[in-house]
Structure 1
């Protein structure tokens, strides 16, 4: 053993007299050439390694006197070329390792190695394997030449190798045709991956009757021939191809086939009888295809089935379909409900009726608790007989690891799993729709003057009503699917109804926030403009700004429809963070929340500045403080109720706190839409304008048809003080209220039936 030294030269007489030396280790040194003359003195040498050196060339007849050599390792050198007769004299060589070198051409010198059984030259720079490359190596059993930039492989390169049982060719990206393997009848393992093969020859299995493992992944295969003559085939890998269908005769009579990997293809159709004869099949992977249905005939023996990534495959599976199943991966969590992940859904045995699985039991690492039903807390006290009985029962009723697991966001029975949430959502729906409708009627149908702030309050009510409508759609789905939501959950998530619900929800919530921001800014600008120019922004400009807010809200609501965010991530159809949500959804949510937080900061800063100026008495005009106070209440309630949503989003992003899915679901269903019913209540209960508008509407209804013109003029006069644009000086109003007797104002004011609290001086 001379390995792991710094030997750079081996003198010619170094091994003279060592006629019986059988093993020589010269690896991990600094040799730059083969010590030909020194090796000529070792006729009995059987194994030698020159690996991990810096050898760059193998000359002709380098090993001519090593006729007994059986194993030769030359890997991890810098070999770029070798002489045409470089391996002459190695009559007994069985293993040759040329891996991890810099060979530019196929080592044609191996033609003289008649007893060679194992050959490796992977990770080189070989670009072509010529015709009849191994014609002189009929005893070859294993060839490894993957990770070479191979562009050409002769059709006859691997012919007539009757002893070859393993052939591995990985990374030959320019290979377009499957090699002709005539005469290579003992091949058991064939790997041709990361190539450019487009089709398989129909006589492939006739040439390879002993094939047990066939790996053809990462190719361009579009159509499969019939494999029925590969009777000994046990493992088949066809992943990452372009296969479109599996015909009835594709896998017919493959009695020994145990594992089939067909994921990442374009399979749209599988013949109903495609798997009927696969009696030994236990593992089937169809992940990421385009399946809409899966034929179940012949799949009763499966223990592992993977179907994720087939969004159109939403049909539920019963336990009877896969009685031996251990690991099941399905597109939707609802399909796992049949396997005990939720209570009372597709249950067929008393054990499933009795068990009420907890989240811990859904964890595959904690499944051992299921071996002892009813003794989760004290199973260590079981005696030997009880333990034996439980183990036998566990064998009769094996547990199934089904993913994705159902949970609060993927419920099996009810969309709203709590009656408190169900009643809360219905209350929000009724209050938001009715009360916001009443606000809209009072604001836009009243004959009183429509001020800019009042217009924005009515617009906010319209947005809040849309929130109520979106919540009503969820409540309706919960009612229609009560007790069996899993049957319809997948279709609801992927359907147009869910997208419409999510669109309305985002549109309404964003429009309400943007319009509230506009209302706060308008109040501040109106006061400033009155002080500086004697007038406030016109209603037309405010309407134009409101249209811009609606446009921005529409853009935010449309983005998830174009895969920026996602509405169908949960049956709630909201693009807000849920456990195990997609990064794209989380990014969209964070951007949305950051935008809303910026709006609330702008609102708060604007109103603080407005109130500070009011307290200083810097404004010289009176305007409608009732609406100013109403907007302030809206700001307070909306900011307060949005805090849990913002906290939830950032906690999910930064993993700051562990928040249970139940809490997240409650916040999204109840807290998020709650402003939609509180906002109109604040206007209906505390704003004097509603009482005035309601009275005017009632009078308008009573007087309709009789003296319409006079009534309208009278009502307009009575409601003139409702305007936020009343330009009455503070000094005049102060005199009117402070010295009523001397000025004779109170009798005049009393002569008019002004609504109470219509005009409130802001300095008071």
Structure 2
């Protein structure tokens, strides 16, 4: 036993020749460095105590020759650098005491090693349980999307009860922060997958872990306090509708500003550089300051006050208020002899039961486990993990459904939007199919109009015009230069043929000046406009084949100018 000396270094072969030594106590020294093969020759050594020193690193070969060693104590040192193979030669080791669990990952799992791993992490992953890993992703996504939808809905909604809508928006904002916290933990678990234990200490002391713990506490407390204010508003409205004035919007804003300030202070005080809150949010890999274990770390009294005393008081007020409201509404309907009293009471009771049950389901297990831990009852690590990762954030995912997404106002608006979208979709599909079939008919109609209307109006005995008449089939119709002023409906192709035949039978005298005609090849309309022509005011009104869809054609009237020939009406 060399206990209590001022040793700083142990050189190689420092204990060579002491082959019969069974126990060696080097605790409470000032050891800073141990060289390789320092304990070589201690073949019979069973116990080695190196606790309460200043060791900061252990290199390969430090414990060479200790094949019989069964117990090794390295606690209360400053070890930060340790070789992964430093314990390989300790084939008989049974007990290992260290300051951090990550050193236990370097030895056989059958060895009794302290400290124990936290309730969430393993040597490989931040979230060792695959089911919990899945739950944290699902709850995080639901909390984010659900509360964002609530905020957007409340901003767009012009509610008559602006106070209630404002309170629900604040509740959604608090629950949204819980969704951000869950996504931070999920992403860190994914980033350190397989190598987490190497970075365990760095992660717990990082600013991101502190931010995650701050958001978790801020979200939890703001959600509980906002639910209390919502319950108070409903309680005054139902129980004292005439004796007490309802909260005004300005009063509600002032109350919520005070609540947010209070919650920020509660969550931010542990971040101050105070010894009492040393590593307050870094107690576990998920950065929670929740105290439901038998351990007594720094700041555990503060955690008990926040998560047990404040929350239990708020939940008790919420439960008493909702039960009172239900009994009051039930007695009022009985006195009024309402016909639908049974149906109304059952609906109201079901809604109140859901609200109270979800609040108590999320918080009462935490409160019960906290009370058990105060009495020294050891809570299984798996129970702590499920409570902290699944039950605590569950309220943030359920509140949007209970207070907004399941209300008749939201459901009615959603149904109307879905109906309008469905009707618009059907209308667009019908119009697309109809216009597709019409387009094919439209091209064929244009070709027929071209053959029907490209005619010469001069008499046949005129040589010049006769030549044009003979070459009329060679004339090409330029549809880009022919338009109409008409605002009429879609046409039947059969009417266009009859009208073209009618134009063909029109006769002009040889002395009559050939009138100019503006003609369109569009199948929608065709108009002959000339004051001297008997059919100059004729307008072709053509309806669509589809009974419900009409296409209005509106083209400007133009005259085709050609140096060699003019398109005129016969």
Q: Please indicate the TM-score interval, normalised by the length of the shorter structure.
A: 0.5 to 0.7
Q: TM-score, normalised by structure 2?
A: 0.59
Contact 1:446 1:693 in 2 (8 A): no
Alignment length (residue pairs): 393
- Of 546, 551, 571 in structure 1, the residue corresponding to residue 285 of structure 2 is 571
Contact 2:136 2:389 in 1 (8 A): yes
- Of 284, 309, 316 in structure 1, the residue corresponding to residue 76 of structure 2 is 309
Matched, 1:238 2:7: no
Q: Residues of 1 paired with 2:81 and 2:250: CA distance?
A: 51
Identify unmatched segments of 5+ residues in structure 1: 1-234, 342-361, 363-399, 699-764
- Of 311, 332, 337 in structure 1, the residue corresponding to residue 105 of structure 2 is 337
Q: Residues of 2 paired with 1:518 and 1:652: CA distance?
A: 30
Q: Residues of 2 paired with 1:589 and 1:491: CA distance?
A: 23
**Per-residue CA shift, 1:521-552, capped at 9, x if unaligned?**
1222345664126x422222212222222233
CA shift, 1:659, in A, is 4.7
Contact 2:58 2:83 in 1 (8 A): no
- Of 320, 332, 338 in structure 2, the residue corresponding to residue 605 of structure 1 is 320
Matched, 1:636 2:357: yes
Report matched runs for 1:268-279 at 5 Å. Answer: 270-271=32-33, 274=35, 277=38, 279=40
Relative to structure 1, the CA distance from residue 519 to residue 472 in structure 2 (aligned partners, 3 Å threshold; closer, same or farther) is same
Q: Residues of 1 paired with 2:81 and 2:373: CA distance?
A: 29
Match of 1:647 in 2: 368
| Secondary structure of the structure 2 residue equivalent to 1:673 | helix
Match of 1:704 in 2: none
Report matched runs for 1:205-604 at 5 Å. Answer: 235-238=1-4, 246=8, 254-255=14-15, 259-263=24-28, 270-271=32-33, 274=35, 277=38, 279=40, 285-288=49-52, 292-301=56-65, 303=69, 304-310=71-77, 313=80, 315=82, 317-318=84-85, 320-323=87-90, 325-341=93-109, 400-406=111-117, 408-448=119-159, 451-527=162-238, 530-532=241-243, 535-561=245-271, 562=274, 563-564=276-277, 566-577=280-291, 581-582=295-296, 584=298, 586-591=300-305, 592-604=307-319
Q: Residues of 2 paired with 1:543 and 1:697: CA distance?
A: 31
Match of 1:708 in 2: none
Q: Residues of 2 paired with 1:422 and 1:636: CA distance?
A: 26
Match of 2:395 in 1: 675
Relative to structure 1, the CA distance from residue 311 to residue 451 in structure 2 (aligned partners, 3 Å threshold; closer, same or farther) is farther
Relative to structure 1, the CA distance from residue 496 to residue 291 in structure 2 (aligned partners, 3 Å threshold; closer, same or farther) is farther
**Per-residue CA shift, 1:645-688, capped at 9, x if unaligned?**
222222333356x7532232122211111111111122343213
Relative to structure 1, the CA distance from residue 293 to residue 548 in structure 2 (aligned partners, 3 Å threshold; closer, same or farther) is farther
Contact 1:566 1:585 in 2 (8 A): yes
Q: Residues of 1 paired with 2:296 and 2:210: CA distance?
A: 17
| Secondary structure of the structure 2 residue equivalent to 1:237 | coil
Contact 2:147 2:175 in 1 (8 A): yes
Whose helix fraction is larger, Structure 1's or Structure 2's? 2
Match of 1:747 in 2: none
**Per-residue CA shift, 1:254-287, capped at 9, x if unaligned?**
435873534486x7xx35x656655457666454
Match of 2:468 in 1: none
Relative to structure 1, the CA distance from residue 525 to residue 579 in structure 2 (aligned partners, 3 Å threshold; closer, same or farther) is closer
| Secondary structure of the structure 2 residue equivalent to 1:402 | strand
Contact 1:314 1:490 in 2 (8 A): no
Match of 1:220 in 2: none
**Per-residue CA shift, 1:54-106, capped at 9, x if unaligned?**
xxxxxxxxxxxxxxxxxxxxxxxxxxxxxxxxxxxxxxxxxxxxxxxxxxxxx
Identify unmatched segments of 5+ residues in structure 2: 337-344, 419-570
| Secondary structure of the structure 2 residue equivalent to 1:236 | coil
Q: Residues of 2 paired with 1:507 and 1:653: CA distance?
A: 24
Relative to structure 1, the CA distance from residue 308 to residue 298 in structure 2 (aligned partners, 3 Å threshold; closer, same or farther) is closer
Contact 2:326 2:348 in 1 (8 A): no
Contact 2:290 2:303 in 1 (8 A): yes
Relative to structure 1, the CA distance from residue 519 to residue 237 in structure 2 (aligned partners, 3 Å threshold; closer, same or farther) is same
Q: Residues of 2 paired with 1:693 and 1:293: CA distance?
A: 66
**Per-residue CA shift, 1:93-150, capped at 9, x if unaligned?**
xxxxxxxxxxxxxxxxxxxxxxxxxxxxxxxxxxxxxxxxxxxxxxxxxxxxxxxxxx
Report matched runs for 1:193-208 at 5 Å. Answer: none
CA shift, 1:694, in A, is 7.1
Q: Residues of 1 paired with 2:299 and 2:255: CA distance?
A: 29
Contact 2:96 2:113 in 1 (8 A): yes
